[in-house]
Structure 1
Amino acid sequence: MALVAGCGGSDITEAQAPGVAAGGDTGTSADTGAIDSGTTGTTGAATGDTGAAAPGAQTGTDPAAAANAGTAANAGAAAGGTTGGAAAPGTKGGKAGNAAGGGKAGGAAAAGGSAVERTVASHAIFGGNAPCKPATLSEVAIGNVSTLSGVLGELFSPVRPALETWVASQNACGGLNGHKIRLYIEDDQGDPSTASSKVQAMIQSKKVLAFVGNIQVLTVDAVKPVIERSGIPIIGADITNATWFGSDKLFPQGPPGFGVAFGYLDGAVNYFKKKNVGNIWCIEVPRACEQINRAMKELAPEFGATFKKDIQVSITSPSYVQQCLDFKAAGVEVLAMTFDAASMNRLARSCSQAQYFPKVLPYPLGVGNEKQFLQGNKWLGDAYVTMNHFPWFGNSTPAEKYWQASIKKFNPGFTSGGAASLGWTAGALLVAAAAELPAENPTTADLLKVLYQFKGQKFTELGGLTGPLTFNEGGTPKVPYCLFAGIANADNTGWAKAISKPKCTNKFAPSDPQGK
């Protein structure tokens, strides 16, 4: 297999952040505690074509300042400069003029990047260098309906603070093409009928233009018909199963579970250097877990691996000793664990009792709440967590640095995990979709128009937060398997390494509908 490197409802608005310069834009939260948003000043004028930032006033601090100091050669968006800078990444050599404050526009954009691509690339959320300015245009209503209570709700709960952080930071840095974001969040409690009714109610009463980052592992099949009838899309989701990849109104921000199976095998063979693999998977989410299990069997020969055994279990089981003995007898050297983190820790205790110590591959959304996973159980030490989202603890790329700085500024200390990464990347995808929202009367159609331009070009990688995305009006999405990873430390108390550059393949598992 060829691998390619790289590749009860509440609403949230903005409020002034502590320490932000006087005169900042201030808002309040209607139903929940306000999320600090504050304002950010712009850096000084860029000089000529060098793009070096000249001294200038900073009334606030751009959360991405540490990552984007304003010194990049030929940076665009000059404040009062004489020429625009070089075209954003994806173009070659031309000057894209977008001087703010009276400077003359630069030359025509070079081939290799559309207007949307350049606009998207400039956003701080993607590691771009455009100045941060608070959103001042009319509010845009955006919805989220997720499973936020119960056993699975605790696992998925980090999506909420991640989206709250996104709203605060994005409203402080341009909003949705200048529009302030008002986010409404509802809990579907893992019940399909509740999910469909709350989605419908939010469309009717809140007039949302789109949903963002819905975590609906058990409820998406009930919600999909509502979305298709209404035409109101879901932008970014939990991407656990094929349903998210079966409509032109659903916009996944990363690969499906079939791709997770690819990541499992890559971890087993290329990280652990072992080829005898197995998988323990859950009864409670049968479609998603079965799809991963089947794809793992299908893809194993491509990696030269041998799929030795799989066992389906319930996440409510108090012990897995017998299953550990069965995997041990089958010669499974590397074990994928396709269920939640609490069950992983029970499995660890059971297998330690059975004197079975394989290398382990946790399911990424199983680490949706990292505190449930990082319990100091050494059996889970050195775990290789393949991820169909960027590693939330990463801090190496400009986009990751902006994510970390935004948390520090607007929402420090929240419980993070894979669900948080999914929510943040969903928000980033919505920012990209909003690149052509008009100042007056923005509509869902404006978002869809841009999303259907996503054809795998570099700009759709959102600054490295995801791999290439292709969306097709009247068809279905196509998202190649691009997997990030995280490696737990030996004591399972934290993270030893974040792999922030994904490995990608252009192959699909035979059972993945995308490959047909």
Structure 2
Amino acid sequence: MQSNKRRLIVLLLSLSLALLILAGCSTGGGAPKDAAVEIKIGVVATLSGGGADYGVSIKQGLETAQDKINAAGGINGRKISLIIEDSHGDKDEAIKAVQKLINEDRVLAIIGPTNSGEMFAAGPVADKAGVVIMGTSNTAKGIGEIGPYVFRNSLPEDSVIPVTVRKAKEKLGFTRVALLYSANNDWAVSSAKTFEKALQEQGVAIVETQTFTDGDTNFQAQLTRVAAAKPEALAVSALYKESALLLIQARRQGLNLPVMGGNGFNDPELMRIAGEAAEGALVGSPWFAGKADPAVQAFVAEYQKRYNTAPNQFAAQAYDALGIMAEALKAEGAAGDRAKFRDALAAIKDYQGVTGKFSFDQNGNPLMDAMVLQVVNGAYREVK
């Protein structure tokens, strides 16, 4: 009997030792050190529902970058594995997805969510857990300031819209503008406030302001009030679907005015839905698919080959986001420790991506330049 007890004790001690050894193979809240293990990066994107085209573009941009990085040997021989979750554009779903990726999948870091409102909800969850979360399409003010583990490589609207307004005014000479925006979308509200400030600084009067909500399809009442105010141009902050329908209805009501858009205009779906109604629309962006740069054209060609369409801004920013993370992963210990990865990411300077030269400021926000694009014959063209 004593012999059996001793054997049982030895067995239990052996099992405990084995578990301790396995536990010792990971640090930084579950990020594995084993060089044979893939580096897991979580992704939260709007892949269904309103605004799904943004999320699908982000997913495709990430997968294009993932294949390029892995084909080149990955990170010191370790491949990057993307674990993708659909948030459906919902804040609560984004929080659930982030929690799953952190606690169940034990990812090293997270890319996404798609919308700024989702990031304001889910970003604090990742930050509290000490897991890097990096937005590729969040443009509202205050994203990087959520916490030290929250980053983005998408230019905030307060860095883009002033450039759009200044160039648009120089080109078109307007002094009276009507502002229309989605009032239940955090990003659109932030964008509208930025438009207000930028227009004021350029000496342009806002003669009418009208709001609507995501999912609206009829803008006749708002446009009737806008027409009565006799503006010389329109400023619109909404997702591509609502923006496209608004443009169609504005043209039908005879409001054939110059239009400036926020980040929602940075998607070819705007032109596909609106058709000729989108002609002449202006939008600021760090991305231009027609840029005469070998890296840009190589990415455009690869993306076109894979998906039979040109990459939009959201695909390009996602592509660069994984490239930026891959660069940070090269730092000693960064691939196996969440805190070390965070510090390596924050230290990124002058990364040359397809959207331009990129660095982070002290709050994890991007430092890079924007250009202004105009829809001409159904395609974006740079405004010089």
TM-score range, shorter chain: 0.7 to 0.9
Partner of residue 470, structure 1: 360
Alignment pair present for 1:432 and 2:327: yes
Choose which of 333, 338, 344 in structure 2 pairs with 1:444: 338
Instruction: After TM superposition, give the deviation of residue 464 of structure 1 in Å.
Output: 6.0
Query: 441-450 or 184-193, which moves further after superposition?
Result: 441-450
Partner of residue 284, structure 2: 386
Instruction: After TM superposition, give the deviation of residue 217 of structure 1 in Å.
Output: 3.4
Q: Which residues of structure 2 form unaligned runs of 5+?
A: 1-34
Q: 1:416 to 1:448 in 2, by over 3 A?
A: same
User: What is the number of residues matched between the two proteins?
Assistant: 349
Alignment pair present for 1:484 and 2:355: no
Q: 1:414 to 1:447 in 2, by over 3 A?
A: farther
> Partner of 2:179: helix, strand, or coil?
strand
Q: 1:156 to 1:276 in 2, by over 3 A?
A: farther
> Partner of 1:385: helix, strand, or coil?
strand
Instruction: After TM superposition, give the deviation of residue 281 of structure 1 in Å.
Output: 0.3
The aligned runs of 1:418-429 (5 Å cut-off) are: 418-429=313-324
Per-residue displacement from partner, 1:430-450 (whole Å, max 9, x unpaired)? 1232231559x6322332222
* Aligned partners of 2:262 and 2:284 also within 8 Å: yes
Partner of residue 379, structure 2: 494
Q: 1:137 to 1:365 in 2, by over 3 A?
A: farther
Aligned partners of 2:52, 2:101: CA distance in 1, in Å? Answer: 20
* Aligned partners of 1:267 and 1:384 also within 8 Å: no
Structure with the bigger percentage of helix = 2
Aligned partners of 1:321, 1:307: CA distance in 2, in Å? Answer: 19
Instruction: After TM superposition, give the deviation of residue 182 of structure 1 in Å.
Output: 0.4
Partner of residue 82, structure 2: 183
* Aligned partners of 2:50 and 2:89 also within 8 Å: no
Alignment pair present for 1:259 and 2:159: yes
* Aligned partners of 1:159 and 1:420 also within 8 Å: yes
Instruction: After TM superposition, give the deviation of residue 245 of structure 1 in Å.
Output: 1.9
TM-score (norm 1): 0.61
Aligned partners of 1:257, 1:274: CA distance in 2, in Å? Answer: 21
Per-residue displacement from partner, 1:54-90 (whole Å, max 9, x unpaired)? xxxxxxxxxxxxxxxxxxxxxxxxxxxxxxxxxxxxx
* Aligned partners of 2:360 and 2:367 also within 8 Å: no
Per-residue displacement from partner, 1:136-172 (whole Å, max 9, x unpaired)? 9642111101222111224432111111111112212
> Partner of 1:319: helix, strand, or coil?
coil
The aligned runs of 1:45-444 (5 Å cut-off) are: 138-176=37-75, 178-246=77-145, 247-285=147-185, 287-368=186-267, 370-375=268-273, 377-387=275-285, 389-391=286-288, 393-408=289-304, 411-414=306-309, 416-438=311-333, 442-444=336-338
Identical columns (%)? 20
Instruction: After TM superposition, give the deviation of residue 185 of structure 1 in Å.
Output: 0.3
Instruction: After TM superposition, give the deviation of residue 260 of structure 1 in Å.
Output: 3.6
Aligned partners of 1:179, 1:271: CA distance in 2, in Å? Answer: 50
Instruction: After TM superposition, give the deviation of residue 284 of structure 1 in Å.
Output: 2.8
Q: 1:430 to 1:362 in 2, by over 3 A?
A: same
Instruction: After TM superposition, give the deviation of residue 416 of structure 1 in Å.
Output: 4.0
Aligned partners of 2:153, 2:295: CA distance in 1, in Å? Answer: 15
Aligned partners of 1:339, 1:412: CA distance in 2, in Å? Answer: 26
Q: Which residues of structure 1 form unaligned runs of 5+?
A: 1-135, 502-516
Instruction: After TM superposition, give the deviation of residue 427 of structure 1 in Å.
Output: 1.6
Q: 1:302 to 1:243 in 2, by over 3 A?
A: closer
Aligned partners of 1:182, 1:173: CA distance in 2, in Å? Answer: 14
TM-score (norm 2): 0.81
Q: CA RMSD of the aligned region, Å? A: 2.7
Per-residue displacement from partner, 1:436-478 (whole Å, max 9, x unpaired)? 1559x63223322222324xx5x14x24624553343xxx235
